[in-house]
Amino acid sequence: MAALNGANGDAPIRVAVQRKIFPAVGRREAQLVLRDVSFEVAPRSFLVITGPSGCGKSTLLNIIAGLDRDYEGEIDLGPAKDSLAFIFQAPRLLPWRTVYENISLVLPDGDRRREKIPAMLERVGLAQAADAYPERLSLGMQRRAALARGFILEPEILLMDEPFVSLDDPTAQSLRDLLMELWHSQPTTVLFVTHDRAEAIQLGTRILRLAPGKASVAQDAVVSLSEAQRHDRAAVLAEQNRIFATT
Amino acid sequence: MAPVSTRISSISRPANPLLGFNGALERLAWMAGSLLVFAIFWQILADVLQNKYLPTPLTVFDVLLREGASGALWEHTSATLIRVAFAFVVSMFIGTAIGLALGRFKTADRFFDAWLILFLNLPALVSITLCYIWFGLTEAAAVTAVAANKIPNVAVNMREGARSLSKDLDEMAMVYKFGWWKTLRHVTIPQLAPFFAASARSGLALVWKIVLVVEAFGRSSGVGYRLSIAFQEFDVSTILAYALAFILIVQFIEFTVLQPLQARVNEWRR
């Protein structure tokens, strides 16, 4: 990755959202979703944004991705902004295109990375399912395809919005392992949203906790676990208790 | 436990009854058998009643052969088919354009919704007579009258399609920089295709029936015209013979073009 680090790889991502309001709709009043949420993310770090549901995590991610432009503040992704992938909570695959086509479609025409698709499918365990339509696959397999679609771009920024919810424990764990493996072989800046504290500790190098109700950052902590410890339930639990002790 | 595993594997790979050769054959056999029973019933009824206004199926078939041999059958059906084709294409095109626009722009939808309801409930007979009065007894007036009847249907269908476009997939296409052409081709059109196919199928059935009315009123060729002459002569055999011929043609188009199209459009579904 040395070549990437040189020119643009070392600029941090700067996020500064002063205010994000959902306007009033019908009988529901306008709602303050985010206030003074500012942070920087070091290149190739794994930042987990956590907090209870409804605290604005997904909204923040949509703002960073450029999907939501109605906010006060500034997002500076630096040169990396043209190399961004987003893995959504629902897999959001095109049901009328095969798994292979879904992955191939995110690449520009004639892109050399297309040659890497078979190897990528092999890595995520979907080599046999390349020509299957997504709806014929289990949710776990669809999520693997969504991971492959994100990583095939070799993005400099990878946004993930609760990508492993509504899976049974073993399936979710195998997907987390897969994500770790892909991330280690293809280091990139990850912003990962989850409400699952154990998942946050297991994956993240740094944790940002949004406070419920206050719509702002409540805690910013570094996870100090070795790779081996991340697979040790007791170590993860101990770290989880240390970081989330304040609540 | 062997039977269980067989069952599971047959679930994961469902045979599409529309595509399989055996399935098609079985369906055809059922249809032929059912129609044969209908013909026998008709024959018996005609034999019992012995009324000249209820000819037997064999008499109708004779008339069909006679009209076919004289060339009249071909002349009239081809004239009708050309009108059907024109009216079908025009109404699908304009109806789709209007439907998509209304589905996308809320203000336009609010405003034009009342117009749509007005045209949906306009009787075919009214639009046909008005078109002939305003534009004369011309080919263009005939096609316009038919299209005016079909366009609101297509528009309502396609508006539903445009409204149901997934915002999730749109965002996905935006994040992954699909661009407008890729988005249209791989995201938007596949979502609209089922609505289009449904419009096309119901459209063909509606259009050809109205074309006959238009022809009976103010054209001097086509199946509708031929039927109006037969009506003046109380020639029930000819009426039934032409009806039969046209049902066969429309069913043929349905089987060879529209049904395979719809099956293809829905191929990816579970």
Confidence band of A1 (pLDDT split at 50, 70, 90):
very low
Which of A81, A92, A109, A157 would you mutate first to test chain B, the one with the most B CBs within 10 A?
Answer: A92
Confidence band of B266 (pLDDT split at 50, 70, 90):
confident
Tokens 């190739």 locate to: A44
Smallest CA–CA separation between B179 and chain A, in Å? Answer: 10
**Does residue A247 have a pLDDT over 60?**
no
Residue of B169, B177, B270 lying closest to A94 (CB–CB) = B169
Q: Which residues of B touch A105 (CB under 8 A)?
A: 176, 178, 182, 186
Tokens of A129: 């399912």
A140 and A165 inside one domain: no
A75 and A112 inside one domain: no
A199, A159, A157, A153: which is closest to A175 by C-alpha?
A: A199
Predicted local confidence at residue B7, as pLDDT: 35
pLDDT, greater one: B191 or B15: B191
Asked if B176 and A95 come within 8 Å (Cβ–Cβ), the reply is no
Contact (CB, 8 A) for B239 and B227: yes
Predicted local confidence at residue B218, as pLDDT: 86
Q: What's the pLDDT tens digit per position in A42-101?
A: 999 999 999 887 788 899 999 999 999 999 999 999 888 889 999 999 999 999 999 999
Smallest CA–CA separation between B133 and chain A, in Å? Answer: 48
Eight-class DSSP state of A145: H
**A and B: number of Cβ contacts within 8 A:** 48
A140 and A164 inside one domain: no
A51 and A149 inside one domain: no
**A positions 66-95 inside 8 Å of B (CB):** 66-67, 84-86, 88, 90, 92, 94-95
Q: Which chain A residue lies closest to B169 (C-alpha atoms)?
A: A92
Rounded to whole angstroms, how far apart are CA atoms A143 and A122?
Answer: 15
Q: How many residues does chain B have?
A: 270
Q: Which chain A residue lies closest to B12 (C-alpha atoms)?
A: A136
Do the domain assignments include residue A227? yes
Contact (CB, 8 A) for A16 and A85: no
Domain boundary among the residues A107, A122, A154 is at: A154
Whether chain A has a CB inside 8 Å of the CB on B121: the answer is no
**Does residue B38 have a pLDDT over 90?**
yes
Domain boundary among the residues A127, A154, A181 is at: A154
**Does residue B6 have a pLDDT over 80?**
no
Predicted local confidence at residue A30, as pLDDT: 86
Predicted local confidence at residue B232, as pLDDT: 93
Whether chain B has a CB inside 8 Å of the CB on A61: the answer is no
DSSP structure string for chain B: -HHHHHHHHHHHS---TTT-HHHHHHHHHHHHHHHHHHHHHHHHHHHHH--TTS--HHHHHHHHHHHHHHTHHHHHHHHHHHHHHHHHHHHHHHHHHHHHHHHH-HHHHHHHHHHHHHHHTS-HHHHHHHHHHHH-S-HHHHHHHHHHHHHHHHHHHHHHHHHT--HHHHHHHHHTT-HHHHIIIIIIHHHHHHHHHHHHHHHHHHHHHHHHHHHHHH-SSSHHHHHHHHHHTT-HHHHHHHHHHHHHHHHHHIIIIIHHHHHHHTTT--
- For the domain bounded by B69-265, which CATH number is listed? 1.10.3720.10
A150 and A33 inside one domain: no
Tokens 């095969």 locate to: A98
Whether chain A has a CB inside 8 Å of the CB on B47: the answer is no
Q: Which domain holds residue A105?
A: 91-154
Do the domain assignments include residue A3? no
Rounded to whole angstroms, how far apart are CA atoms B254 and B200?
Answer: 10
Q: Which residues of A touch B168 (CB under 8 A)?
A: 88, 90, 92
Whichever domain contains A37, its CATH number is 3.40.50.300
pLDDT, greater one: A213 or A136: A136
**Does residue B79 have a pLDDT over 90?**
yes
Predicted local confidence at residue B163, as pLDDT: 93
Domain ranges within chain B, ordered by starting residue: 69-265
Q: What's the pLDDT tens digit per position in B204-233?
A: 888 988 999 999 988 889 999 999 999 999
Do the domain assignments include residue A35? yes
Domain boundary among the residues A154, A171, A191 is at: A154
Predicted local confidence at residue B46, as pLDDT: 92
Predicted local confidence at residue B20, as pLDDT: 60
Contacts of B49 (CB under 8 A, 6+ apart): none
Whether chain A has a CB inside 8 Å of the CB on B37: the answer is no
How many structural domains are present in chain A?
2
Predicted local confidence at residue B132, as pLDDT: 93
Asked if B176 and A106 come within 8 Å (Cβ–Cβ), the reply is yes
**Does residue A238 have a pLDDT over 50?**
yes
Q: Which residues of B touch A133 (CB under 8 A)?
A: 268, 270
Average pLDDT over residues A147-152: 96
| Distance (Å) of CA A40 to CA A74, A77, A103, A224 | 12, 10, 30, 19
Do the domain assignments include residue A245? yes
Average pLDDT over residues A121-135: 94
Interface ipTM above 0.95: no
Q: What's the pLDDT tens digit per position in B101-133?
A: 999 898 999 999 999 999 999 999 999 999 999
